Structure 1
Amino acid sequence: MPDNSVLDRYQAYRARRFLHRENQHRDWLPSWRTRHRRRILVVGLAVTFTFMIAVGIVCHFDMVVGPLLWLPAMLVFFPLWTILQIVSGRRGDAPRDVLDEWELQQRDSARSIGLTVTQTLSLVPAFYLIIAGSAGAESANYPYAGGLLVLTTILIGGCTPAMILGWTGPDPEPDDHAA
């Protein structure tokens, strides 16, 4: 009988895969790894999330223009999110085995905040959908707008740990990522 459980083997695989990808991305975007530049990315994501919420609200009233606005929001979100993940070293979703004690504590704290943000923000569109459904709203706008708002709150909560770690993380050591 093997000494390691399936979960242990999976965690070891995750750690190996994470370290491989970290090695691949180690030299990417060196000038964006500073705290100032990471904060620009975090603010950009916050603005994008605000725009996504506005799109959800617009979809409540207008299903012609509203859905078309979602595409630019996604076209801005994906590059910002990808760049933030690369320059922050993906510490928000890193496996336990690749982090030291301080990084693990920071990651767990950021994840806890992310879960709280997700749960709290998701209540708003959930109540919106409950109220619209119980009021007998027959328009297709309500479920679509509610779906966009739920998706946005889940994205916000999922991105919160990386945003916190990107905002609070120190600048890299000068010899870590030489330009």
Structure 2
Amino acid sequence: MTGALGLIDRYQNYRVRRWLVQEQRTVGMLTGWRSQRRRRLLVPAVGIALPGIAAAGVLRALDLRAAPLVALVALLLFLPSWTMLRIASSGQDHAPTRCSTNWRSPTATRPGPRAWPSPNP
């Protein structure tokens, strides 16, 4: 069992190193787009492009000629906006546990339960 834990720990350490290297690569990219306001502009673009890709699939299934054009437009909108959104948001959603900003040590003490007032006085 120790070997399996050692393997898991080594893999987690590898993920952390790989994520830190990737973070260093993208730290200087799209610095003007890292504000929340600008990132919120990219989300609707991705949200519009995804149904466009789905519509292209439906058009293709129906064997309509417009399918390639719809797919091309949707993909030309999706790929840059998705890439910019991933870079601007710093990829925190797939960060290893040890790199996450909300990671807490297993030995950390948890705050006690809140003392809520009783509904029946």
When normalised by structure 2's length, the TM-score is: 0.72
Deviations 1:123-173 (A, max 9, x none): xxxxxxxxxxxxxxxxxxxxxxxxxxxxxxxxxxxxxxxxxxxxxxxxxxx
Q: Which moved more, 1:59-68 or 1:9-18?
A: 59-68
Q: Which has the higher contact order (CA 8 A, sep 6+)?
A: 1
Taking the aligned partners of 1:76 and 1:10, their CA distance within structure 2 comes to: 36
Q: Which moved more, 1:89-98 or 1:1-10?
A: 1-10
Offset at 1:31?
A: 1.0
Taking the aligned partners of 1:57 and 1:4, their CA distance within structure 2 comes to: 47
Q: Secondary structure at the match of 2:90?
A: coil
**Could you say which residue in structure 2 is the equivalent of 1:11?**
12
**Is the CA contact (8 Å cut-off) linking 2:97 and 2:103 kept in structure 1?**
no
**Could you say which residue in structure 2 is the equivalent of 1:21?**
22
**Is the CA contact (8 Å cut-off) linking 2:39 and 2:88 kept in structure 1?**
yes
When Rg is computed on C-alpha atoms for both structures, the one with the higher figure is 2
Deviations 1:89-117 (A, max 9, x none): 101111111013279xxxxxxxxxxxxxx
Q: Secondary structure at the match of 2:93?
A: coil
Over 3 Å counting, the alpha-carbon distance change for 1:3 and 1:47 in structure 2 is: closer
When normalised by structure 1's length, the TM-score is: 0.51
- List gaps (5 residues or longer) in structure 2: 105-121
Deviations 1:33-78 (A, max 9, x none): 1111101111100010121122123223234331343233223222
Please provide the CA RMSD for this pair.
2.3
* Pairing 1:30-41 to 2, within 5 Å after superposition: 30-41=31-42
Taking the aligned partners of 1:49 and 1:84, their CA distance within structure 2 comes to: 14
More helix by share: 1
